[in-house]
C-alpha cells in the first residue's frame, strides 16, 4: 500500500489507539466539534493577526497599554468570526461567557510576556517598531517531508541570537509537556532539519494560561520521533482492515464530561 502522509496529530492518534486512527484517517468517519478546538483556533488566529498589526503611529511611551488593547480588539473580532462554529457546540450562555473570558485572559497573559521581551529589546533598538520586528517570530510555517511522508504546521519559529527556537501555542488547562507533545516537537525538529540542514536548538510550548516551557533538542527527542514515524508507516502500509487496528481501552474512551468521537461505533467496553 502507498504510504499515507502523516502528521504529529495522526501519529499521536495511532499511538494512543490504533482503532481510533483507523476510524479517523482510514474510514474517515466525521468528528464532532468541541470548544477546545474552536477556541484554540480563535487564539491562534488572534496571535497571527497580532504579529501582523500596523505599528505606524504607535505610542513609544504607552506601547504596553496599546499592545494589550490591540490583542483584546483582535480577540473580540476573531471570536465574532467564529460565532457560527461556537453556536454549533450548543453551550449555555454561562459556559460561553466562561470560555470567552478564560481565552481572553490567556491571550492577555501571553501579551504581558511578549511586552517584557519588547521592553528588553528596546535596550538594543532605537524604537518600538524595530524592537517588535526583532522579537516577533515567523508564524504558521508549513513543512512537508517527501522522504519521511510527514507534514506539520509550526506555530512560531524564533531566532534568538544564533539559536533557532520552535514554539507551539496551546490553551491546555495543565501546563505540562506530555509525551504526546514531546513527540510533536520532535517531529517538528526533524522537519526543520530536513528543510534547513540543521536542527533547532530548542523547542517548546507557550501554554497561554501559564508561560513558555522549553526543551533542548537532543538525540533522544529526535530518535523517539523517528521511531514513532517508522512504527506508524510500517503498520499503515501493511494493513487497511479494521481488525488489524487494535482497540486500546483507556480513560480517553469515556470520561466525566465527554467521550471519544468514535465511542458509539467502537463500543470499547
CATH class, 137-238 region: alpha beta
Segments making up each domain of the chain, as ranges: 35-135, 137-238
Determine contact, residues 191/226, Cβ cutoff 8 Å.
no
Instruction: Quote the cell numbers at residue 242.
Output: 479494521
Q: What is the DSSP letter of 242?
A: G
Average per-residue pLDDT for the chain: 96
Pairing mode, if any, of strands 150-160 and 254-255? unpaired
What is the number of helices (H) and of strands (E) in the chain?
Answer: 10, 7
**Mind listing the pLDDT tens digit for each residue in 200-253?**
999 999 999 999 999 999 999 999 999 999 999 999 999 999 999 999 999 999
Give this prediction's pTM. Answer: 0.94
**Mind listing the pLDDT tens digit for each residue in 77-119?**
999 999 999 999 999 999 999 999 999 999 999 999 999 999 9
**Mind listing the pLDDT tens digit for each residue in 144-180?**
999 999 999 999 999 999 999 999 999 999 999 999 9
pLDDT the model gives residue 57? 85
Measured over the CA atoms of residue 18, residue 19, residue 25 and residue 27, the dihedral's sign is positive
Q: How distant is the alpha carbon of residue 232 from its chain centre?
A: 21
Report how far residue 129's alpha carbon sits from residue 60's, in angstroms, rounded to the nearest whole number.
Answer: 9
Amino acid at each position: 500500500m502507498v504510504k499515507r502522509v502523516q502528521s504529529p496529530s495522526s501519529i499521536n492518534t495511532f499511538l494512543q489507539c490504533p482503532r481510533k486512527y483507523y476510524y479517523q484517517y482510514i474510514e474517515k468517519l466525521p468528528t464532532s466539534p468541541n470548544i477546545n478546538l474552536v477556541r484554540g483556533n480563535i487564539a491562534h488566529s488572534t496571535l497571527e493577526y497580532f504579529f501582523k498589526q500596523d505599528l505606524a503611529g504607535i505610542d513609544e511611551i504607552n506601547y504596553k497599554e496599546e499592545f494589550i488593547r490591540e490583542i483584546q480588539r483582535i480577540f473580540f473580532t476573531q471570536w465574532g468570526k467564529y460565532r457560527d462554529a461556537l453556536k454549533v457546540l450548543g453551550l449555555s450562555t454561562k459556559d460561553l461567557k466562561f470560555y470567552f473570558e478564560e481565552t481572553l485572559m490567556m491571550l492577555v497573559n501571553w501579551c504581558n510576556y511578549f511586552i517584557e521581551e519588547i521592553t528588553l529589546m528596546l535596550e538594543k533598538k532605537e524604537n518600538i517598531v524595530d524592537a517588535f520586528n526583532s522579537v516577533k517570530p515567523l508564524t504558521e510555517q508549513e513543512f512537508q517531508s517527501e522522504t519521511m511522508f510527514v507534514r506539520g504546521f509550526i506555530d512560531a519559529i524564533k531566532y534568538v541570537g544564533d539559536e533557532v527556537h520552535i514554539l507551539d501555542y496551546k490553551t491546555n488547562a495543565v501546563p505540562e509537556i506530555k509525551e504526546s507533545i514531546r513527540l510533536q516537537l520532535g517531529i517538528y525538529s526533524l522537519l526543520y532539519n530536513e528543510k534547513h540542514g540543521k536542527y533547532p536548538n530548542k523547542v517548546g510550548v507557550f501554554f497561554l494560561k501559564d508561560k513558555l516551557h522549553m526543551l533542548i533538542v537532543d538525540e533522544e527527542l529526535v530518535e523517539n520521533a523517528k521511531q514513532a514515524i517508522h512504527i506508524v508507516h510500517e503498520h499503515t502500509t501493511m494493513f487497511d482492515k479494521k481488525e488489524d487496528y487494535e482497540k486500546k481501552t483507556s480513560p480517553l474512551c469515556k470520561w466525566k464530561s465527554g467521550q471519544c468521537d468514535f465511542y458509539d461505533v467502537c463500543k470499547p467496553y
